[in-house]
Amino acid sequence: MDWETLKTDCLACQRCPLHATRRSVVFGQGVENAEVLFVGEGPGEQEDLQGIPFVGRAGMLLDDMMKMIDLDRSRVYIANIVKCRPPHNRDPLPEERDACSQWLKKQIEIVDPLIIICLGRIAATSLIDEDFRITRQHGQWFDVGGRRCLAIYHPSALLRDVSKRPETFTDLREIRSEIRRLCPEVYE
């Protein structure tokens, strides 16, 4: 399946009840053959309005975090576990995640990144290990289907609790050195 067909099918998705309350399907944004893929949880209010991932307050922080390690949206791809906004920004339900997982799976196949960065617990428990503990396991590399995968705290968690920021800065530096090692062209 090619990218445009995937996107068209995803934008018409009605596989779970979230389709009934969404204003946009937030498919993703970035370079379609990126070596680095960031995966968040699901759209919030601004993302639902604009149809673009991470454009609210958490998104501004994500931009700052990427900038700290010399990345920006033109060098990576950004997607979410669920493509439609859960009402009142609640966590996506297991059945919503399951219904949506085929889209991200196909996005990962087509983008074919070397490195996947999970933003927060929901992405890490979906992609790395269902028992993933973000407080203990953030900053560690895992093999996910032959790709290097690491989770950091979600930018929203860093907005709520600034004491987590120093650890995240260490994790970000680890990400930068792995990018330099595995795919230095990202920085060219």
User: Residues interacting with ligand URA, by CB under 6 A?
Assistant: 26, 40-44, 47, 53-54, 58-59, 80, 119
Q: Compute the least distance from the CB of residue 43 to ligand URA, in Å.
A: 5
How many residues make up the chain in this entry?
Answer: 188
* CA separation for the pair 1, 131 (Å, rounded): 32
Amino acid at 72: D
Sequence-separated (6 or more) residues with CB below 8 Å from residue 49: 23, 24
Q: Compute the least distance from the CB of residue 38 to ligand URA, in Å.
A: 9
Q: Compute the least distance from the CB of residue 156 to ligand URA, in Å.
A: 6
Nearer of residues 143 and 160 to ligand URA, judged by Cβ: 160
**Phi and psi dihedrals of 40, rounded to 5?**
-95, -160
Nearer of residues 51 and 182 to ligand URA, judged by Cβ: 51
Kind and range of the H or E element at 142?
Answer: strand 141-144
Nearer of residues 165 and 183 to ligand URA, judged by Cβ: 165
**Helices and strands of the chain, counted as H and E runs:** 8, 6
Residue bearing tokens 């929901």: 122
Kind and range of the H or E element at 36?
Answer: strand 36-40
Residue nearest to ligand URA (CB): 40
Q: Compute the least distance from the CB of residue 188 to ligand URA, in Å.
A: 27
Nearer of residues 49 and 183 to ligand URA, judged by Cβ: 49
Nearer of residues 78 and 99 to ligand URA, judged by Cβ: 78
Q: Compute the least distance from the CB of residue 41 to ligand URA, in Å.
A: 3
